[in-house]
Amino acid sequence: MTDWTDPDAFAAALERAETKEKGNCFEDFAEGETVEHDPGLVLSRRGSELWAGQTLNYDPTYWRPSVAEARGYDAVPVHPDYLLACVMGASVGDLSEKGGYFLGRDDLRYHRPGVAPGTELRVESVVESKAESSSRPAYGIVTWETTGYDAATGDPLLSYTRTNMIPRREPIAADGEGANAGDSEDEEAERADADLPDELLAPEGGHFEDFREALARADGRDAAVAYRHERGRTIDDTTVAQLPLATLNTAKQHHNADAMADSPSGEIVAYGDVTRSIALGHARSDEQTLREVSCDDERFHDFVTVGDTVYGFTHVLDANDGDARNAGEVTFEHVAFNQRDEPVYSGTRTALVRKRA
């Protein structure tokens, strides 16, 4: 009779045992295919407050009933970053659990302002495209459109497209081109410095008029409205593992140190949406944000690991008076960077920002 706990016997058993794998490889996806994701959360106020608190998103709309009611909500809504993380998390097991680089996200749209706690989430994805990767023969590139729905009504709550490198079962032959293409680091640094405007201006405050007035000051000058935010958030066990697992994100990158020991990072890494939410939390602390509208061109530039500190930088692109009496639409470019001043995330974001009373 086998003693499965005998170390030698168990080691031999592990060598012979088939591994029941999780996740899908590049070859498993077909363009046009719709993937229904079985996981799905009931959005909760506790989960929203945990996410918002740990990522320094302290807009009282998402904490205080009196403020939420004054801003037109029936009850305290869940934070939009928590909603995004829950939609993304439910998709990971089917789409990207195998690992691979998160290349970016586009066309993020919030279809219902003020999603209430207690909403049951249903998530599905459509495979938009597949492409080979000549520079990384062990991977292919897949783009999905993912939508989170209110399971009770079928109404869309949030949607986006995202692109990942996904491991292949069988690597393809690579031509080697593109791995080191482009300018040298010195040439890139010189060009970046030469491209900077002469002046970086900051708005006087956080209301819509402050952003509009700062853009007017920059108009006609070699200037940009761009500034950094004082707060920083150091990545710890809660942000690197607890937050993604609480949103059903099963990617090993965030909680399996053994599996990540031989990866390019050498250790577990932060969920990209934690990094993003921290950066946006820093930015929102210097705005009078009414609600989120959209995000585009989101890119993740480097690993963030436990002990790294995430800071935020904002470039104001536009301020449009719009139709709302009490708010105007402002478009920002946000950059998250670490303690070594290296960009780790960037994206554009449009939000309704309150006007002065």
All domains of the chain in start order, with CATH: 20-172 (3.10.129.10), 183-235+270-357 (3.10.129.10)
- CB contact at 8 A, 347 and 320: no
Q: Average pLDDT of 83-110?
A: 92
Distance, C-alpha 11 to centroid of its chain: 40
Q: How far is CA 176 from CA 60, 130, 166, in A?
A: 52, 20, 19
Q: Which pLDDT score, from 0 to 100, does residue 194 have?
A: 52
Least trusted range by pLDDT, from 26-30, 98-102, 152-156, 299-303: 98-102
Tell the residue number behind the tokens 């499965």, with chain if given.
4
Tokens at residue 350, please?
A: 């449009």
Q: Which pLDDT score, from 0 to 100, does residue 77 have?
A: 97
The amino acid that residue 355 corresponds to is: K
With a cut of 90, say whether residue 334 has pLDDT above it. yes
Least trusted range by pLDDT, from 7-21, 95-109, 295-309: 7-21
Q: Which residues contact 95 (CB under 8 A, 6 or more apart)?
A: 23, 24, 35, 125, 142, 144, 146, 164
Rg (CA), the chain: 22
Sheet containing strand 156-167, edge to edge, reads 34-37, 121-132, 139-150, 156-167, 102-110, 289-300, 343-354, 327-337, 309-320, 223-234, 199-201
For 204-219, write each residue's pLDDT tens digit: 999 999 999 999 999 9
Compute the distance between CA of residue 92 and CA of residue 348 in angstroms, rounded to an integer.
23
The mean pLDDT value of the chain amounts to: 89
Tokens at residue 217, please?
A: 């000051």
How sure is the predictor about 11, in pLDDT bands with cuts at 50, 70 and 90?
Answer: confident
How sure is the predictor about 40, in pLDDT bands with cuts at 50, 70 and 90?
Answer: confident
How sure is the predictor about 110, in pLDDT bands with cuts at 50, 70 and 90?
Answer: very high
Neighbours of 47 (CB within 10 A): 20
Q: What percentage of residues in the chain have a pLDDT greater than 90?
A: 73
Q: Which pLDDT score, from 0 to 100, does residue 6 have?
A: 77
Tokens at residue 223, please?
A: 């200037």
Compute the distance between CA of residue 115 and CA of residue 44 in angstroms, rounded to an integer.
10
Q: Average pLDDT of 277-288?
A: 95
The amino acid that residue 267 corresponds to is: E
Q: Which pLDDT score, from 0 to 100, does residue 10 have?
A: 72
How sure is the predictor about 100, in pLDDT bands with cuts at 50, 70 and 90?
Answer: confident
Least trusted range by pLDDT, from 3-7, 65-69, 226-230: 3-7
For 247-261, write each residue's pLDDT tens digit: 988 888 888 999 889
Q: Which pLDDT score, from 0 to 100, does residue 178 have?
A: 38
For 154-185, write each residue's pLDDT tens digit: 999 999 999 999 999 887 765 544 333 344 45
Task: Look up the pTM and report it.
Answer: 0.87
- CB contact at 8 A, 328 and 208: yes
Q: Which pLDDT score, from 0 to 100, does residue 215 have?
A: 96
Tokens at residue 224, please?
A: 């940009």
Give the strand pairing for 199-201 and 223-234. Answer: parallel
φ, ψ dihedrals at 314, nearest 5°: -130, 135
With a cut of 80, say whether residue 192 has pLDDT above it. no
**Collapsed DSSP state (helix, strand, coil) of residue 7:** helix
With a cut of 80, say whether residue 188 has pLDDT above it. no
